[in-house]
Amino acid sequence: MYHRPVLHRCSSDEAVRRLRENPASRWQSGWEIEPAEGTAWQRITSEPFFTPRVDAGFTVEASDRIFALGSCFAREVESALSGLGFTVDSITDAFKGLETYGPRHPQGFLNKYNPESIYQELRWALDPVSKFPPEAFQELPNGLWRDVMADPVFGDGDFDRTLDLHGRLTDVMRRAADCRIVVITLGLVEVFHDTRTGLYANTTPHLTASPGRYEFGVLTYPEVMDALERIYRLLSEHGHPDVEILVTVSPVPLDATFTGTDIVMATTYSKSLLRSAAGEWSQSKRNVHYFPSYEIVMNSARDRAWFMDGRHVRQDMVAHIMQTFANAYAPHPALGGQRTG
C-alpha cells in the first residue's frame, strides 16, 4: 500500500509504525564489518548502481503520453523512456536538419535549467494570453541576436532566424498540455535576471554586450517554491485534466559558478536547495511526486555513473534510473517494467 512520506508532523505512534514497516529505514545496523542485509550501506556497496526503495503514487498506463522538461538531464530521461516503450511527446523532429553550434544535439534546444525559465517557457506555451516577447533576445555587437531564453545549441543568428527557432520551441512545449505525465528535472539556482524585461535568462547572456542589463543572483528557497507553485497552477489550469507531475533533480554539477565560492560548494548548495524544494512540493500536492534520480546517481559507483569529465552521466546509469522508474510506476512488460510479487 502506498504511503506518502511524512516530512512534517505525525503522531509518535505513526512515526514508530513507519520505522518498523519501512524495509529501507536503516543506514546500517551497528558497527558490523559486513553491511547488514537490506540496510542502505549494503544496498550502496553491493552493486555498482544503487537501487532505492520507490513507492509509486500512480501508475503509468500504456496509453499515457509523457512530456519531459528541465535541464539537460531531461533529454537523457526522455530518450531512455522512449527506449522502454513509453510515448514521449517532448521528443521532436522540429529542429531536424538544422546545424548545431558544436557537437550538440538539436533536442538540447529544449533544455531549461532553472525553475523560473521552466515556468516562463510553459507560460508562453500554455497560457493563451501570454506570448513570448522578442525583446527578450539580446542584440550583440556583431549584429547577430542571442536567445538567452533558450539553450545556445544553434548559436547566434539574425533576428528572423532567432525568432523562428523560439517559435518552434514554443510549439513543442505546447504538447505538454495533452500529456498526463509531465516529468520536470530541476537543474540549478544561479540565474541572470533581465532588468529590461523582468525575465530570467535560461543561459548566461553575453555579459559585455549589454552593460547593466543583466543582474546575477542565486534563487532562494522561497523563490524556488514560488516558481514551482506557478508551474503547478499552469499545468492544473491548462494541462491534462488528470496530470501527474514527476519532479526530480539533475545530478549534473554546475559547469561554472559566478558566486565566488568553490564550485563544489556552489553545486552542493544548488542541488540541496532544489532537492528540498522538490520534496516540499511533492508533499503539498497530491499529484506531484518526487523521483530520486539524484540519489541514485550520487550513491552509485562513481566510475560507473559518470563519464570521464565527471559531469555527464553514462548511458547505462541513465538506463538503470529509468528501469527503476519503470519497475515502480509502470510494472507492465510492454512498457519495460518488471512485475513484482
The CATH number that applies at residue 204 is: 3.40.50.1110
Q: Mean pLDDT over residues 265-290, rounded?
A: 97
Per-residue pLDDT, 233:
98
Q: Mean pLDDT over residues 210-237, rounded?
A: 97
Q: Looking at this protein, which amino acid is placed at residue 72? A: C
Instruction: Let me know whether 205 and 294 are in one domain.
Output: yes
Place of cell 506531484: 288
Instruction: Let me know whether 75 and 217 are in one domain.
Output: yes
- Note the pLDDT tens digit of each residue in 15-56: 888 888 887 778 787 666 677 777 888 888 889 999 999 999
**In angstroms, rounded to a whole number, what is the distance separating the alpha carbons of residues 267 and 270?**
5
Q: Which domain holds residue 29?
A: 1-46
Q: Looking at this protein, which amino acid is placed at residue 159? A: F
Instruction: Let me know whether 206 and 255 are in one domain.
Output: yes
- Note the pLDDT tens digit of each residue in 55-77: 999 999 989 999 999 988 888 88
- Which of 90-99, 233-242, 311-320 holds the top average pLDDT? 233-242
Per-residue pLDDT, 341:
34
C-alpha cell at 299: 550513491
SS (H, E, C) 278-302: HHHHHHHCCCEEECCHHHHHHCCCH
Q: Is the pLDDT of residue 2 over 60?
A: no
- Note the pLDDT tens digit of each residue in 167-187: 999 999 999 999 999 999 999
Per-residue pLDDT, 26:
80
Instruction: Let me know whether 39 and 169 are in one domain.
Output: no
Per-residue pLDDT, 1:
45
Place of cell 514527476: 246
Q: Mean pLDDT over residues 100-125, rounded?
A: 92
Name the domain count of the chain. 2
Per-residue pLDDT, 339:
40
Instruction: Let me know whether 243 and 278 are in one domain.
Output: yes
**In angstroms, rounded to a whole number, what is the distance separating the alpha carbons of residues 2 and 88?**
26
**In angstroms, rounded to a whole number, what is the distance separating the alpha carbons of residues 113 and 120?**
12
**In angstroms, rounded to a whole number, what is the distance separating the alpha carbons of residues 59 and 64?**
10
Instruction: Let me know whether 293 and 190 are in one domain.
Output: yes
3-class SS of residue 36? coil
- 53, part of any domain: no
Considering only CA atoms, give the Rg of the chain.
21
Rounded to 5°, the CA angle 208-214-219 comes to 135
Instruction: Let me know whether 146 and 30 are in one domain.
Output: no
Instruction: Let me know whether 122 and 4 are in one domain.
Output: no
User: Which ranges of the chain does DSSP label H, i.e. alpha helix?
Assistant: 12-21, 40-46, 73-83, 115-126, 159-173, 221-238, 263-284, 293-298, 302-305, 315-329
Place of cell 507531475: 245
- 107, part of any domain: yes
Instruction: Let me know whether 17 and 111 are in one domain.
Output: no
